[in-house]
Amino acid sequence: MLLTLVALLLAIRLAAQLALNALNAAEVRRCAGAPPPAVGVLMDPETRARAVAYTLAKIRFAVIEELYDALVLAAVIFGGLLPRLYAPFRGWQPGGAWNGSLFLLAVAVLLSVPSLPFDWWGQFRLEQRFGFNQSTLGLWVADRLKGVALLLAIGFPLLWALLALVRWTGAAWWLWGFAMLFGFQLVMLVLYPKLILPLFNKLVPLPDDALRDRLLALADRTGFRARAIQVMDGSRRSAHSNAFFTGFGRFRRIVLYDTLVARLAPPELEAVLAHEIGHYKRGHVPRMLVLSAVLQCAGFGTLAWLAGRAWFNGAFGFAAGDLAPTLLLFGLLSGLVTFWFSPLLNLLSRRHEYQADAFARAAVGVEPMVTALRKLAQANLSNLTPHPLYSGFYYSHPTVVEREKALMG
């Protein structure tokens, strides 16, 4: 019955994904010939046509990828591969948490292999076709090798400690496991920009003294004390633009993509920065941390409950009470359920975006916010007319049309 339920959930999610893509493609085509008035002023006809073509190409690619991912997951879950792979790990020395951790890491690496052709195609065919790819094959390979190295260096100690907690703390292991993982995430908020991010990107101080002084003055008058404003070489991989801040407290720093600095005028960069500061000033970061903690705690509680049920592991060919397979199965199958909650999380995220926009409007005015949003939409070939159901499931940000309407309101 459990296998039947999993197969049903997998089929229903895939059907929903395909239906959402079909609705989105139909909406994009419907609006392509006669765009709504609010859309027509955002892009010239040539850019609008390229944005439509880019969106439809991504939808076609997503459909193929979703079908492929569903087939791979079904083969892994129902084909008996995982128990056969786990068998040799169980007999290794020293046993216990060591064997379980190595098994989980091995499966993680193996399951990343089937997606590599899609990663390559998306970067060097789809993104290349529309002028966004700036990466090289050597850089692409190096990024993935670094990712595997980080998985081994960071993932193994975490997994070993999590599995060892069962022996150390007994039935309360899942509470300790949650505390350990959440504490690690808090530490990484500080260490990531210093230790991890530089492995992939070069960060340098903002070279334009006048612009730096202008942005720091904005940060000062809005009550956002930042230690530094850095520029990241995002153009090494993509022509897309972004900005974010990392860390918290005295470790806080502002990071701008070099493509963003090159594309926007100083008042527009002020608007982007004011938006990011708005997230901080409106308390979005601690709220999302609290929400993340609640969801993680619930996930660990569910994991502990499943680990105590002999029928769960047994349905997939594993021994009852063995936490490593339970953890793996939970990771593989939880997306079949959490997919249906994504509209709620996206709704909260979009609400935060509106609030950050309102903060930026109060700090720098409407005009630089609007021009910045329009330039970024044009440069990124954004889809301005997604189907409402599709955007509900997949868009963490409102569309530019929606954001402009809120800014003008």
Active site (catalytic) residues: 276, 357
DSSP 195: I
The structure tokens 């340098």 sit at 204
Q: How far is CA 302 from CA 163, 330, 360, in A?
A: 16, 9, 40
| Long-range contact set of residues 47-53: C-beta below 8 Å, sequence gap at least 24 | 47/378, 47/381, 50/130, 50/381, 51/378, 51/381, 51/382, 51/383, 51/384, 52/28, 53/130
In whole angstroms, give the CA distance from residue 206 to residue 395: 31
In whole angstroms, give the CA distance from residue 282 to residue 275: 11
In whole angstroms, give the CA distance from residue 405 to residue 174: 46
Tokens at 251, concatenated: 């470790």
Helix ranges, 222-340 (H): 258-263, 266-281, 284-307, 310-315, 323-333, 335-338
| DSSP-derived pairing of the beta strands 243-246 and 203-205 | unpaired
For the sheet containing 203-205, what is the strand order?
Answer: 203-205, 229-232, 253-257, 243-246
244, 230 Cβ separation under 8 angstroms: no
In whole angstroms, give the CA distance from residue 403 to residue 360: 12
Phi, psi for 248 (deg, rounded to 5): -155, 165
